[in-house]
Structure 1
Amino acid sequence: MKNIFKQAVIAVGFIAAAQGALAAGDPAAGESKVAVCAACHGADGNSPAPNYPKLAGLGEKYLLKQLKDIKSGERNIAEMTGLLDALSEQDLEDIAAFFDSKPLQLAGAKPMKVLMNSGVEVDALELGEKIFRAGNPEVGAPACTGCHSPRGLGNAPAAYPRLSGQHAEYIEKQLRAFRAGERVNDGDQMIMRQVAQHLSDSEIKALANYISGLN
């Protein structure tokens, strides 16, 4: 677990240094370039569908990295195949700036129970909060707060996204993808893949649900 924490700190430094050289996008210019995004993500980045992520307020540098990764093919999202091909780097910067400038509408957590591998049902919100704030020392999973802040607001300079208020279904899908090695654009340190590999299905569901209600 200490290695994961150490790698996270190193990764923050590398990401911040690399992203610091990027020019800031223009939100006003971006508004005229997001029509293709609105169908899935909402005109203001607040997706009404839980299978599509909310983009509003996630952090400009994080959004720009995802757009670049999707365009280059490093991050594979079938629904977005070819959508960004004709866009310039400035277009991507403007789109990222536009969505980051919008307030995120909270999704909200739900009361539920999850079945642990032991066969015991536990309160999902309590379990989710425990993992988010303290991790799971038994399996070496660190707390989420180290990178994403105690309120889930992320770390914009380091390109760590805001998680709070995101659709629980989307968070769950991404954690499963990191765990399975289907999503691999978390950097050479593989921070998210190393964290997610230790989480069970029930823990992922509980964590995603809890995070969706943070503010």
Structure 2
Amino acid sequence: MNRLCKSLMVLQFAAGLVGFVAQADAADAAKPDLDRGKAIATQVCAACHGADGNSATGNFPKLAGQHPEYLVKQLHDFKVQPGAKKPARVNSVMVGFASALKDQDMQNVAAYFASQTPKPGVARDAATVPLGQKIYRGGIAEKAVPACAACHGPTGQGLPVQYPRLSGQWADYTVAQLNAFQQGAGARNNSEPMHQIASRLSNGEIKAVADYIAGLH
């Protein structure tokens, strides 16, 4: 009886060890490959976003230093999901690129851009900085617009998984995204809270807070 118990214990231990090794191998396989991510960034993304994620103009967002979880989510949102007619984010160029990436390569390129150092930006319109600061730090109570800082942080660093880093982002890009959030379906339909918030902002308020964000650090 003792021998049988010992044999069973050995078998259970061996099975547990095999399972542990399998889990460890799976975890290693899922780890982002920064070299692979760099290769994708250099060959595919650099023309618009820069090889290090610091795009040259506001037509394209800066990706350097962005939370990798956020980047992965956005890449998924550019893809048409099963049962949907359109992606949650509509951009004909990004739909093509995102659709060509496997999940692991999304992780790889997101981790690579997250590891890069973002270049700071500047606010360009001194006249609108007070309004932009007011909106970012305090919101607009009469319009039920919450402070941007409540989610994106006082210096625009965001919160991994949930809220993107905004610090130093091009003002033109931020304006374009707030306009897309205003439209919602057919433009950018991947955040109902942002749709509601953006819909309450005037064009002047959008430009003011976007310019303020560009110089935020």
Structure (1 or 2) with the greater helix fraction: 2
TM-score after normalising by structure 2: 0.79
Quote how far apart the aligned CAs of 1:24 are: 4.8
Q: In the alignment, is residue 103 of structure 1 matched against residue 106 of structure 2?
A: no
Q: Which residue of 2 aligns with 1:33?
A: 40
TM-score after normalising by structure 1: 0.80
The CA RMSD measured in Å over matched residues stands at: 1.3
Structure 2 segments unaligned to the other structure (5+ residues):
1-29, 81-86
Q: Which residue of 1 aligns with 2:188?
A: 183
Alpha-carbon distance in 2 for matches of 1:82, 1:94: 18
Quote how far apart the aligned CAs of 1:46 are: 0.4
Quote how far apart the aligned CAs of 1:76 are: 1.2
Alpha-carbon distance in 1 for matches of 2:77, 2:95: 12
Identical columns (%): 47
Alpha-carbon distance in 1 for matches of 2:193, 2:96: 28
CA contact (8 A) 1:44 1:102 kept: yes
Q: Which residue of 2 aligns with 1:55?
A: 63
Quote how far apart the aligned CAs of 1:197 are: 1.0
Q: Which residue of 2 aligns with 1:205?
A: 207
CA contact (8 A) 1:25 1:97 kept: yes
Q: Write the mapping of 1:53-92 to structure 2, written as runs, cut at 5 A.
A: 53-72=61-80, 73-92=87-106
Q: Which residue of 2 aligns with 1:115?
A: none
Cα deviations by residue, 1:135-177 (Å, 9 ceiling, x for unpaired) = 0001100000111000001001x33110010000000110111
Q: Which residue of 2 aligns with 1:163?
A: 166
Q: In the alignment, is residue 140 of structure 1 matched against residue 144 of structure 2?
A: yes
CA contact (8 A) 1:59 1:159 kept: no
Q: Which has the higher contact order (CA 8 A, sep 6+)?
A: 1
**Runs of at least 4 residues of structure 1 off by over 6 A?**
none
Quote how far apart the aligned CAs of 1:194 are: 1.2
Number of aligned residues = 179
Q: Secondary structure at the match of 1:33?
A: helix
Structure 1 segments unaligned to the other structure (5+ residues):
1-22, 113-122
- The aligned amino acid for 1:141 is V
